[in-house]
Structure formats: structure tokens, C-alpha cells
Amino acid sequence: MNEVLMIPKRTLGSTGIDVSCLGLGTVKLGRNQGVKYPSSFELPDDRHILNLLATATELGINLIDTAPAYGVSEQRLGELLRDRQRWVICTKTGEEFVDGQSRFDFSATHTRASIHRSLKRLNTDYLDLVLVHSDGRDREIIEHSDCFETLARLKEAGNIRAFGLSGKTVEGGLLALQHSDVVMVTFNPDQQEERQVIQQACELNKGVLIKKAFASGHAVVDSSADPVRSNLQFSLQEPGVSAVVVGTINPHHLRDNVRACLD
């Protein structure tokens, strides 16, 4: 008898959006340059991606995370995603990856152009969630650029359902909670500095997504224990966490990740 696995869903703060508590990160669908993973990899072909997406669907995963900085990830998802209504698509703005280098632009003009380009690339008329892809200057971006204000207007116009910050500082995360719907924070057993942001988000009923749960894959390589289960459980048991986003192009790893969440 085949094992039946189905990941549960959680509501993303006060957005009204229900997301699988494990999300699929897609940087590996579109970019293999300048990434921080411990080993190199080839970009998968379309057939491989379709199999990965089918596996995610079978497992109940509906949250998919992409970004303009992920090379051709958005374009490939736009071509290969089926049944748009079942997916919660999270993309980003602010960072571009061009000629092997990251470039950042948080201006209103770039933000608006980036969102409309993502809509076209992803072959959709709305984005569920847009995160500002911070370069580390979280507070400056929120207070001294037009990025958040522009996203708020795009939300009012119906182009996006919710927005927030994929930040790098506690100060920035706390500030983002005052002005947006969702934060994406780094959180794992070795990096717990942003727990304060998660706790504040929980109090304010704002959404929390976790990135780098495996320290970009290094926790899996460096540990002799079971880091997949322990790291996922560590994040998902933290009150206020909506979902953990993990990138993979291996359907077996995706299934193992779901199993670890359910253990």
C-alpha cells in the first residue's frame, strides 16, 4: 500500500490566504550561478520540473516561491504551472541578477515595472504575495524608498493580494510588520536572531515565512544527525510561523521534507 502524505495548511496572518506549511522554493529552476548551495547543479529540463510540480500537488503543497533574481524561474513557472487557482505564488522585487551580479533598485518606477513584468512572466493577472528582496538595508528601504508605498498601491489596484519584506535584520523585520502583511525571516537552530520578529508578527497576526531553514543546504551536509526533520520541526513548532520555504529540484527530497514535517 502506497504511503499517503498530505501537508497541512496554515493561514498567512490576516491576509486570508491559506498556504501549505511547506513551500517550494524555485531558485534552482532558473539559476545556478552565484548561489550559496554547498554543491553545484544543472538546471532541470521541463519534464523534470513538471514532475516536481506534480509531486508538490500530490503532497498538498500550494505555496511556490520565486523571484526575478532567480534567473529564468518566473518564466519557466509561467510556462509550466497548471491550474493557477490552486497555487499561492510568492515572488519578489528589488533584486535583479544580471551578468552574474546582483543589482538592487527599490524605486517606485522599478517596483511597478518589476511587478508588471512578473505578472507577464508568470502568466497570471494577479500575484498572491510580493516580498521586497532586501540587500540588507532593510530600514532604509522601508523609510527612504517608495517601494512599500508602491506595493500598497498595487495591492489596492488588485495586482497583488499581499506584500512584505524578505529582510536581513531584526530592526527591518519589526519595522516591516508595521507597514505590510508578511515577513520572510531566516530561522534555524543556528540562526535564531529573528525570533523576536516572529513573536511580534504572531502578536500582530501578520504572516511569517521562514527561509534558510537548512542554512542553504549546509545544515544537511554538515550534520550527521537528521537535520531535515529537526530543522523543519524547529521552525514549524515556533508560534506564528505560517510556512517554511525550502528549495529543491528533487521530488524524492520534496516528499522526504513533507514526511519530516508530519513526523
Of the listed 30, 64, 70, 111, which one is catalytic?
70
Q: Where are the alpha helices (DSSP H) in 97-158?
A: 108-121, 138-144, 147-156
Residue 204's φ and ψ, nearest 5 degrees, are -90, 0
Residue 94 identity (one-letter amino acid):
G
User: How far is residue 192 from each of residues 90, 189, 209, measured CA to CA in Å?
Assistant: 24, 6, 14
What whole-number distance in Å separates Cα of residue 196 and Cα of residue 201? 9
Please list, in sequence order, all residues whose beta carbon lies within 8 angstroms of the beta carbon of residue 253, skipping any fewer than 6 positions away.
none
* Amino acid, res. 246: V
CB environment 199-223: b (16+ within 10 A), e (fewer): ebbbeeebbbbbbbbbbbbbbeeee
Q: Which amino acid is residue 51, in one-letter code? A: N
Which residue type occupies 35?
A: V
Distance CA(219)–CA(221), nearest Å, equals 6
Query: Is 126 in the active site?
Result: no
d(CA 225, CA 214): 13
Catalytic residues, by residue number, are 70
